[in-house]
Amino acid sequence: MELDFNELRELLTVLNGTDIAELTLKSADFELTVRKSTPDPIREVSEPLARVQPPVPPLPSDALAMPFYPQPPVSIGVPESATASSPTGAPPPQVEQKWLTITSPMVGTFYRSPAPDEPPFVEVGDRIRTGQTVCIIEAMKLMNEIEAEVSGQVMEILVTNGQPVEYGQVLMRVNPD
C-alpha cells in the first residue's frame, strides 16, 4: 500500500470531520497511527467560571524584577555553619561594596570544571584575569565556557557544582584589581 502526501492530507481532513479518535494503518512497509486530542472536560467546565471572576490586580512593579525561583546563595569553601547566623543573633558578614559579580548569561547547569575528574577552573582566593574561563554553563546539551569580564581575586563562589542556574544569577564575586 502506497500513500502519497496529498492522499495523507485528504485522509487527515476527512478524519478531522468524524468522531474517530484514533486510526492505525499498517502495511508491510510502514505503520501510521493518528490520534485526535480529546477536549479536557475540566477545562471546559472551568472556563465559564473564569469569565465571571473579578480581574486579578496587577503586580507591583518591583515584583517583575524578582527571579521566578529565588535560591539562597551558598558560599563554596565556607563551612555551612559559618554562613548561618550565630546564636548571639549577629548578622552574617556583608558583601564588600567594591566586589564585582560574575553572573550567568543563560539558564542552564553550572559546572566548576571541564570534566568530572579534572580540577575546577577557579577556587576561592584564586586570581583571575579578563577573558579567563571561570566555569561552564550547560544549556541544551551544549557546554558554554563562561569567561571573566574583570581581573581580580575570586572572593566567593555562590553556586555548587551541578546546580541549575537562572539567567542573571550571581555565580561568583570578585575583588577587582
User: In the sheet that 142-147 helps form, which strands lie side by side, from edge to edge?
Assistant: 142-147, 133-139, 108-111, 164-165
In the chain, list all ranges with CATH 2.40.50.100.
73-79+98-176
User: In the sheet that 127-128 helps form, which strands lie side by side, from edge to edge?
Assistant: 100-103, 170-176, 152-157, 127-128
CATH 3.30.70.2340 fits 73-79+98-176, yes or no: no
Residue 163 near residue 109 (C-beta atoms within 8 A) = yes
pLDDT in tens, the chain (177 residues): 666 767 777 777 787 778 787 878 777 776 777 777 655 554 444 444 445 555 556 655 555 554 444 444 444 444 444 444 444 555 555 655 789 999 999 999 999 999 989 999 999 999 999 999 999 999 999 999 999 999 999 999 999 999 999 999 999 999 998
Closest CA to 20 of 38, 41, 40: 38
